[in-house]
Amino acid sequence: MQPVGFEFTGFNRELLAQLVEKIKETLKGYEFESFLVGCTFEDYLSEEAKTMLKKKFQPLLVKRLEKELKAKADFKNPDVQILVNFNQDLIFFLVRSVYITGRYKKYIALPQTKHYCFKCKGKGCEYCNYKGVLSEESVEELIAKHATQAFDAPQAKLHGAGREDIDVRMLGPGREFVLEIIEPKKRNADLKKLEKEINEAEKGKIEVIGLKYCAKERIAELKAKKSDKVYLARVECTEEVSGKELEKLIGTYAVEQRTPLRVLRRRADIVRKKRVRILEAKKKGKLIELKIRAESGLYVKEFISGDEGRTKPSVSELLNAGCRCKQLDVVDIID
């Protein structure tokens, strides 16, 4: 919410005209079709006086603003909220975010959102070379730098339907997301053009598909989704594994997985019960390749390695060999 100062005394027609002009000036350059305005009157006024002003002065202000701004008053979901504070002689305004949804694919090692240093929480320390982040780029930042320019906005935030590890590629149909564009001056952009611009500029890193406008409620819908994922894992084993042993892997498993050691610093130490199905298992040179369908929330790398016995059963246990995931791709999301 941004404040703009003004100096007015007394409630009269001149004040109304000046106030409308000041609000017009404040919102110059912003695209909007609807607004909501409220007034906070001086503390020294009686409650009766404040009530009278709200009934008489505020409706007049709304009517004048509708005419001058060429926008409609909206009490439910306005593009812009305006608060006139006569106590502080300030005008505050809040611009409603614009939301666009789509899917992203990721082809290289990248975090989904800005990867703040877990030691300094973004402040900057020796561990992160005083940058505050552990990665130079993220899916969020690569998309946002184009979207903020298209909507003339200071920032944008990505909300994903789950997330994958930094080093896991997101292939197949891609992962659903909502991009929240914060305080945009423009509310309408050519999304096909934006999509093309992102895909050309970030080719080889990410790709976005099917950008379209959506409501804020779409974020909650995505967060509530629990979708199975299909993974392709390339696995290195300490022992030679035969084709027959690999064939025996194919099947469905009820897995008990204790929070992996690598995420213990930021996750509760609990046991999760998940169902996993190994769809395919075959040799790929010196590696083995597994196609795995996993319930939402399973840590696939640890299902392969066993994570020092914290995941049971695991591929390592089933093959009686030390197994390590060398490459992991998401190849499908089952809605």
Q: Which range of residues forms the domain containing residue 56? A: 2-95
At 246, which CATH number?
A: 3.30.70.3190
Name the nearest CA neighbour of 238 among 323, 325, 308: 323
CA angle at residue 89 from 86 to 90, to 5 degrees? 105
Domain count, the chain: 3
Reported confidence tier of residue 6, pLDDT bands at 50, 70, 90: very low
Q: Are residues 174 and 241 part of one domain?
A: no
CB 101 within 8 A of CB 59: no
Q: Are residues 156 and 241 part of one domain?
A: no
Q: Are residues 237 and 320 part of one domain?
A: yes
At 87, which CATH number?
A: 3.30.2130.30
Average pLDDT value for the chain: 91
Q: Are residues 211 and 119 part of one domain?
A: yes
Q: Are residues 48 and 124 part of one domain?
A: no
Q: Are residues 252 and 189 part of one domain?
A: no
Q: Are residues 136 and 220 part of one domain?
A: yes
Predicted confidence (pLDDT) at residue 2 exceeds the cutoff of 70: no
> Mean pLDDT, to the nearest integer, of 231-249?
94
Q: Are residues 214 and 107 part of one domain?
A: yes
Would you state the structure tokens that stand for residue 215, as one six-digit string? 């409501």
**pLDDT tens sequence across 260-316:** 999 888 889 999 999 999 999 999 888 999 999 999 999 999 999 999 999 999 999
Q: Are residues 214 and 164 part of one domain?
A: yes
Q: Are residues 237 and 183 part of one domain?
A: no
The domain boundary, picked from 43, 77, 95, lies at 95
Reported confidence tier of residue 57, pLDDT bands at 50, 70, 90: confident
Q: Are residues 108 and 82 part of one domain?
A: no
Confidence at residue 125, expressed as pLDDT on a 0 to 100 scale: 84
The domain boundary, picked from 95, 127, 154, lies at 95
Confidence at residue 3, expressed as pLDDT on a 0 to 100 scale: 53
Number of neighbouring beta carbons within 10 Å of residue 89: 14
The domain boundary, picked from 224, 240, 261, lies at 224
Predicted confidence (pLDDT) at residue 225 exceeds the cutoff of 60: yes
Which residues are the active-site residues? 165
Question: Which has more confidence, 206 or 42?
Answer: 206
Q: Are residues 102 and 90 part of one domain?
A: no
Distance between CA atoms of 170 and 182, rounded to whole angstroms? Answer: 26
Reported confidence tier of residue 54, pLDDT bands at 50, 70, 90: confident
At 203, which CATH number?
A: 3.30.70.2510
**pLDDT tens sequence across 116-145:** 777 777 778 877 777 777 777 999 999 999
Predicted confidence (pLDDT) at residue 59 exceeds the cutoff of 80: yes
Reported confidence tier of residue 8, pLDDT bands at 50, 70, 90: very low
